[in-house]
Amino acid sequence: MLELKDLYFSVAGRNIIDGLSYTFERGKFYAITGPNGSGKTTLAKLIMGINLASAGSIGFLGKEISSLSITERAREGIAYSFQQPARFKGITFRDLLAMAAGTDDEGMLLALLRRVGICSLSFLDNPVDAKLSGGEIKKIELATTIARNPKLAIYDEPDTGIDLWTIQPMVRLLKREQKEHGTTTVVVSHNRAFLEAADIVLMISEGKLVYRGDLEGALPMLNDLTVCNYRKCVGGKDVGCYR
Amino acid sequence: MLDAIDKDLLKKVADLEGLPKGAFNIRKNGKLLQREVSANINIESSADGSGIVVTIKPGTINESVHIPVILSQAGLYDVVYNNFIIGEGADVTIIAGCGIHCGGLEPEGHAGIHEFRVGKGAKVKYVEKHYASGPGRGRRTLNPTTKVLLEAGATAAMELTQIGGVDEANRANEAVLGPDSLLLITERVLTEGNQKAVSANTITLAGAGSRANMISRSVIKGDSEQDFYATMEALAPCFGHIECDAIIMDNGRNETVPSLKVRHPDAALTHEASIGKIASDQLMKLMSLGLTYEEAVNRIIQGFLK
């Protein structure tokens, strides 16, 4: 359903995404992982149109979308959950949810709250501003993504700022969305809980796809990353890493 | 009688669909159009005829008074001095506002000088909207001044809004706070084209335990200009905060100067200011929800000025 072909994204002569090709299948749950600075978030942003590809193509449900705006991609059925969600002055959770769902019908908004597991009604009229905690704003971000009823949902590090006890319910929520609504799900994460939930793990290093498959196959590489996860060691300048 | 233009202006500045309930005083083109008093709220013309005196009896609870001004006479610059005396323990809402309709080339303007004395333990909510419209090219000027004196334990919440069409505005707010009093001011101003607005504010926290919070929200479009000056002076143990945010669009210009003067060692004054274009992460978020760029901008500004 999503086909990336020879995708490049370059800044100041450096390829952040370096000739990446991959085809995502409809209804599958993907986890994208890799070292810091490897290009995971950049790739997610290229798919949503937040960054525009320097070269290559992005096909979505058979349509070339690489030149479409964020708005147009959203209307095609792609939704995006930001790692650092925007904070507003004077816009409430209700406002965002209504924009996402395309309705301000109270009954439908309440059904959405139930669907994403937010029980507190008072939360609905909270301003989405700097006073919200990191966890609260991530829940709002997730809810607005799901409220789009997307064909493809991209979550960039959804567990940032979320307490340990909320991660498993969040994983279950995204899995339920995948199962019940057939949502193709792409989660950028370092968190093992999301990697375990994924049908397919994709690992990116220096802008290239270096692994695709199940978590078991990825473990040796992931364990290797626990030694040093900041790109590749650079010869004499590193601190003596065995790689 | 209210004509169609009057009704439109009243709707815009005072949310009125005709004559209000309770006490009110409607001024049109520099003259009294209609007045109504209530058992607890008296309105009378001041001795020199330059404005009105609104007296609210002590203990008056949950009552409101509307005092809108409408202007549609070419070449008129209407100046009015209004006094509000709010009795001890009262809890009332005052809805003011001025609407100008300009149909020709001649300028029109209004200066409303409003003085409030809020008695001990009394609470007042003051809502003031300014708006100008009409096909004429005459310059529309609105120069409001509010002066507030809060006695011990009094509260004033003031919402001051200029919602569009005003070519020139010199806005001034002054307040002196007594012990344990609370002042909340929220000022929202939108300018566009070649409009210019200046807001000058002086808040003196004179009494121990007094608190003040001034919030300014500006949207500056086209080639317009807005300047914001706020001085907060603390003479006693107190708390004060100034928050000024401006969204700049097109070629808008802004000068913001918050000034904090602490004259007592146990006073705490803070300020935060943010001036610039709409943050790109806000635009991207709303566009990712399916809004176009223009829709996203409008929605953000609508919320910002809400």
Is B289–A148 a contact, with Cβ atoms under 8 angstroms apart? yes
Cα separations in angstroms, A40 against A48, A188, A206? 13, 7, 9
> Using CB atoms, which residue from A79, A84, A88 is nearest to B303?
A88
pLDDT, residue A243, reads 45
pLDDT, residue B49, reads 76
B284 interface with A at CB cutoff 8 Å: yes
Residue A95 lies in a domain: yes
Residue A113 lies in a domain: yes
Inform me whether the pLDDT recorded for B202 exceeds 80: yes
Residue A108 lies in a domain: yes
Mean pLDDT of chain B: 91
Average pLDDT over residues B226-252: 95
Is B279–A86 a contact, with Cβ atoms under 8 angstroms apart? yes
B77 interface with A at CB cutoff 8 Å: no
Token digits for A52? 């525009």
B277 interface with A at CB cutoff 8 Å: no
CATH code assigned at A108: 3.40.50.300
Q: How far does B26 lie from chain A, in Å, by closest CA?
A: 32
Average pLDDT over residues B27-44: 90
Q: 3-state SS string over A185-241?
A: EEEECCCHHHHHHCCEEEEEECCEEEEEECHHHHHHHHHHHHHCCECCCCHHHCCCC
pLDDT, residue A231, reads 52
Residue A128 lies in a domain: yes
The DSSP line for B133-191 is E-S--S-EEE--EEEEEE-TT-EEEEEEEE-S--SEEEEEEEEEE-TT-EEEEEEEEEE
Whole-model pTM: value is: 0.83
Supply the DSSP symbol for B13.
H
pLDDT, residue A233, reads 55
Intervals of chain A under pLDDT 50? 242-243
> Residue B87 — very low, low, confident or very high, per pLDDT cuts 50/70/90?
very high
Is A148–B290 a contact, with Cβ atoms under 8 angstroms apart? yes
State how far the Cα of A45 lies from the Cα of B287, in Å rounded to an integer: 13
Least confident span in B16-25, B159-168, B256-265, B295-304 = B16-25
> Using CB atoms, which residue from B282, B293, B305 is nearest to A88?
B282
Residue A242 lies in a domain: no
pLDDT, residue B134, reads 76
Residue A243 lies in a domain: no
> Using CB atoms, which residue from A86, A89, A148 is nearest to B285?
A86
**Domain span at residue A18?**
2-237
- Greatest mean pLDDT range, B89-103, B129-143, B274-288: B274-288
Q: How far does B217 lie from chain A, in Å, by closest CA?
A: 10
Is A91–B285 a contact, with Cβ atoms under 8 angstroms apart? no
- Count of the separate structural domains present in chain A: 1
Indicate if ipTM > 0.85.
Answer: yes
3-state secondary structure of A94: helix
Looking at chain B, which residue has its C-alpha nearest residue A154?
B288
Inform me whether the pLDDT recorded for B129 exceeds 60: yes
State how far the Cα of B145 lies from the Cα of A211, in Å rounded to an integer: 68
Is A100–B279 a contact, with Cβ atoms under 8 angstroms apart? no
Cα separations in angstroms, B183 against A148, B81, B151, B243? 42, 22, 11, 14
